[in-house]
Amino acid sequence: MSAAEIAVGLLILVSGFLSMAAGIGIVRFPDVLTRLHAATKPQVLGLAAVLVAIVVQVPTWGVLTTVVLIMTFQLLTQPMTAHMLGRSAYRSDHVRRDLLIEDDLGSDIAEHDQEAARMPRADDVG
């Protein structure tokens, strides 16, 4: 067995462990925000480990460029997806507010609502 095969095996094991940790976190964590954290962080790192294993096993330019594209799109879409899911869960009241350390979004929404209440509506002008 070569060193590359051992490295590939270890990377696959690390990826499997991270995927298992993500699955356990999704099931065990108490609210949407912590579940999103458990779903995104280990999943992206697990995917990175698998992609590195693929590059180590098949070191060609075609494979490398494909791996870079896959990882780039994952790093661009996963945080945005988690952010939007978290905001929608917050606005639909599916967040345990007692677990929040600091509620910046709540204060921003309250400030926006106060400004909107002070502004004249189009129906009022006339």
Across residues 104-124, what is the average pLDDT?
79
Mean pLDDT of 82-97: 87
Q: Phi and psi for 118 in degrees, rounded to 5? A: -80, -25
Q: Is 11 exposed, middle or buried (0-12, 13-18, 19+ CB in 10 A)?
A: buried
Please give the DSSP secondary-structure letter assigned to residue 98. G
- Taking residue 31's Cβ as centre, other Cβ atoms within 10 Å add up to 15
Closest by CA position to 23, among listed 45, 51, 42: 42
- pLDDT over 80 (residue 82): yes
- Mean of pLDDT values over 41-62: 94
Average pLDDT over residues 95-101: 82
- What is the pLDDT of the chain when averaged over all its residues? 89
Answer yes or no: pTM beyond 0.85. no
